[in-house]
Amino acid sequence: MSLTAAAQATGASKSHLSHVERGRDRPGWELVAFYEESFNADGQLWASFIDVVAGSRPRQRSDQGDASRYPLPGDDSTFVADITPDAVVMPPGFHFEKIWRIRNSGTVPWTGRWLRRLGPPAGLGIPSSPLRVQIAATMPGQTVDIAIPMRAQNQPGTAAAYWKMVDEDGHQFFPDRYPEGVFTTVIVREGAPDPDIPRLE
């Protein structure tokens, strides 16, 4: 694929793509996802991305001071439902959206929060996803739907992926609770029909 075609497909400039390929610019996860899917990297590009450059770099301040703020007094959450059903059987590479519904059952407004995947967001034998997604502002008593685009692993088998609620710097809001956070299980079988959930284009 030429740089011109890649630039048209991604919406990025040719110079940015050239700099990324030469290691001069840092790619975003959207660009990594495009290269991963366009050239059938089967999770290897994602794994390299995470090992080398993924994730936001912490701001220069005391990690110990920030981490000690958590858990916040009055902060609480309650799992409500899997809007997208869990443990669905699907064909290899099926692209879908996993949605959870969570309630802010405490007294602390949720602002500036993210759902961050635990471990690499892709690799051989595991489903791929963004490293993190932002959670919409949620006031006490409200529920929020958190949607993450995912792609089933290409290898047949069962795999699980886990996420935790974090702040901008990756500190967990509930470090003493929900050790696995929210999770989903993906079951891949060769020749399986598309499941009864929407396929993302």
Residue 44's pLDDT is what?
63
| Residues in the chain, overall count | 201
pLDDT tops 70 at residue 6: yes
User: Taking 50 as the threshold, does the pLDDT of residue 60 lie above it?
Assistant: no
Contact indicator for 160, 137 with CB cutoff of 8 Å: no
Instruction: Note the pLDDT of residue 38.
Output: 82
Which one is predicted more confidently, 6 or 109?
Answer: 109
- The arithmetic mean of pLDDT across residues 36-43, rounded, is 72
State yes or no: pLDDT of 144 exceeds 50. Answer: yes
Rounded-to-integer distance, Cα 121 and Cα 8, Å: 26
pTM of the model: 0.69
Residue 51: its pLDDT value, please?
58
3-class secondary structure, 5: helix
The identity of residue 118, as a single letter, is L
pLDDT at 75 over 90: yes
Which residues lie across from 116 on neighbouring strands? 132, 164
d(CA 34, CA 108): 38
User: In which band, very low, low, confident or very high, does the pLDDT at 74 lie, cut at 50, 70 and 90?
Assistant: very high
Residue 61 reports pLDDT greater than 50: no
Start-to-end CA span in the chain (Å): 20
Residue-wise pLDDT tens digits, 151-176: 999 999 999 999 999 999 889 999 88
Condensed to tens digits (0 to 9), the pLDDT of residues 94-140 reads 999 999 999 999 999 999 999 999 988 888 889 999 999 999 999 99
Residues 6+ apart with CB under 8 A from 179: none
CATH 2.60.40.10, the chain: domain bounds: 73-188
Mean pLDDT value across the chain: 86
**How many C-beta neighbours within 10 Å does residue 169 have?**
14
**73-188: CATH architecture:** Sandwich (2.60)
